[in-house]
Structure 1
């Protein structure tokens, strides 16, 4: 997810750096079409949901982090009235330091829908007995990654051998997993830092763990560096450790009892994310001036982060079947392999926790869109 004001508190042993919501490349392709087809048609004021649901349903949504541009599509859907047109009022509960994890809020009945940035934490909550089901994933590529200077770049795991790695506390299992998955013996020096790129610029280490949609911006703005020419940013996925992020989920009982609510919520949400792709500045203004006005966010930074993250919402699957799609085989295959290499043992049945039926209904069902 987008970055907090105090980045040093984001990662713990249970919240590894590689599972953050920050991504790799500048948005070379923008516009709704970049997110893949099929796209939702614009809803009229008399949608099928509205005709059959005269009363308004209140939905509590627990976000995985502060109200920043990482939730762009949700805030656009709210501000543009897309939820209201689906007869929904949506209450967003922010996450962040010193706040309960969204999985706890759902488990305790304090929220109806969760949006989680950290796939590992969500999966482990399910493994502990919470009957959560995933509805979709906004980010098809996880934002965690590595940042290095172009003068001594890291582009593949073997470039890490013998390196000084600047990393956040709690990220060592993921660094070890990179070596393991590449068939390499872990050979590096771990140097704990926060998220300040100064240590990298001063060459205290060869590479730093980061959100590749965030820390590179500091290199660009403060040090006037250019991507590829002056610095290199790679995702963990490009290094062999894929993961989803910005995962929408709920209790299985909620989906069973209030499926229509979830379908209406996702239909409006998808419209919001489509609009976000057309104008990255729109959501940046919303979070700075309204939804995250009390968090001290910087407008230009939020715009830039939004530009960078938009392409990471697309994949071969979303280009074929639409945004937020999840592939149980991909989750249970290479994604679980990465988690296991990082020492995660208890993982739920991927086929059981991925439910595509809501998106099927939204894109192809009877409800008019």
Structure 2
């Protein structure tokens, strides 16, 4: 079976690779193949068109596709909260939305509307904070052109820390924005026709992510040296990323778990921000039964 990754073959997906090399998929009778994503690849499209049985997608992208009529089902999530954050220097940290005032913050074009809405909801006026276009790396922050940089607390945060730059990460959840990172999706038809395979895949993936969290150095080495040897990855950065992301992956309900109530809160926030036109009912497309079966061994 083919799984469409939401991005490149990096340590953020190390749990899948761990499950593969440790034989957890083989134990379920599954030969799993993982296709790398990229900036021009939407995982939900690959799943919806039958090129992949499962995939992980940006939560907002998945919800917009569902609103547009795609018959997608959300089964789980890689990150319990999105690693996307405002990264600032530890010597001059941005610790709340109120700290935006008087600052210049670099954000991507895609996230500008969201951060403008967050600022407005906190009572900040248009002139209180200056948003500029973010570059591909956080050098704007290290050269102090900006006070904050919208990036990933995992990979980009790890890279800065290894450069000796002490940072502070203000996650979306810290800003009052509920979030998941890389939700795992399939289609209703796939789930109906391939439920046993999908349950087996999720059961093995749970074991893989638990293994990675217990052995971050080992799985970072696996990703760098065997999974993506031509990717130009830095072992120290991937190892630090694996350690940082552990807290974002773990959940009292188990790794990969997704909660219908939280998803509804995410939907409501996106409707308020104007990203979604109409309210969706999370219970209509969030299926927790697959993970429940995977966790119980049924």
- TM (normalized to structure 1)? 0.76
Q: Deviations over 1:187-241 (max 9, x none)?
A: 321221214222212221221111111222233222x233xxxx32110111111
Among 270, 275, 282, the alignment partner of 1:339 is 270
Match of residue 199 from structure 1:
140
Counterpart Cα distance in 2 of 1:138 and 1:214: 15
Among 173, 177, 187, the alignment partner of 2:117 is 177
Q: Deviations over 1:70-114 (max 9, x none)?
A: 11110000111111111011111110134x311111111111111
Answer yes or no: is the 8 Å Cα contact 1:133–1:249 preserved in 2.
yes
Match of residue 86 from structure 1:
28
Q: Is the aligned partner of 1:243 residue 2:174?
A: no
User: Which range moves more in the overlay, 64-73 or 194-203?
Assistant: 194-203
Answer yes or no: is the 8 Å Cα contact 1:176–1:342 preserved in 2.
no
Match of residue 79 from structure 2:
139
Answer yes or no: is the 8 Å Cα contact 2:84–2:150 preserved in 1.
yes
Answer yes or no: is the 8 Å Cα contact 1:195–1:210 preserved in 2.
no
Counterpart Cα distance in 2 of 1:254 and 1:348: 22
User: How large is the Cα RMSD of the aligned pairs?
Assistant: 1.6
Question: Taking structure 1 as reference, are residues 257 and 101 closer, same or farther at Cα in structure 2, changes over 3 Å only?
Answer: same
Match of residue 326 from structure 1:
258
Match of residue 46 from structure 2:
105
Q: Is the aligned partner of 1:123 residue 2:55?
A: no
**5+ residue gaps in structure 2?**
none
Match of residue 14 from structure 2:
72
Q: Is the aligned partner of 1:233 residue 2:169?
A: yes
Among 268, 273, 295, the alignment partner of 2:204 is 268
Answer yes or no: is the 8 Å Cα contact 1:135–1:249 preserved in 2.
yes
Q: Compute the displacement of 1:183 (Å).
A: 3.6
Counterpart Cα distance in 1 of 2:158 and 2:3: 29
Higher relative contact order (CA 8 A, sep 6+): 1
Among 265, 278, 282, the alignment partner of 2:218 is 282
Counterpart Cα distance in 2 of 1:170 and 1:97: 12
Q: Is the aligned partner of 1:294 residue 2:221?
A: no
**5+ residue gaps in structure 1?**
1-58
Q: Compute the displacement of 1:147 (Å).
A: 1.2
Match of residue 213 from structure 1:
154
Q: Compute the displacement of 1:341 (Å).
A: 4.2
Answer yes or no: is the 8 Å Cα contact 1:113–1:249 preserved in 2.
yes
Counterpart Cα distance in 2 of 1:189 and 1:65: 29
Match of residue 93 from structure 2:
153
Match of residue 56 from structure 1:
none
Q: Compute the displacement of 1:361 (Å).
A: 1.0
- TM (normalized to structure 2)? 0.94
Match of residue 313 from structure 1:
249
Question: Taking structure 1 as reference, are residues 181 and 325 closer, same or farther at Cα in structure 2, changes over 3 Å only?
Answer: farther
Match of residue 5 from structure 1:
none
Counterpart Cα distance in 1 of 2:145 and 2:121: 26
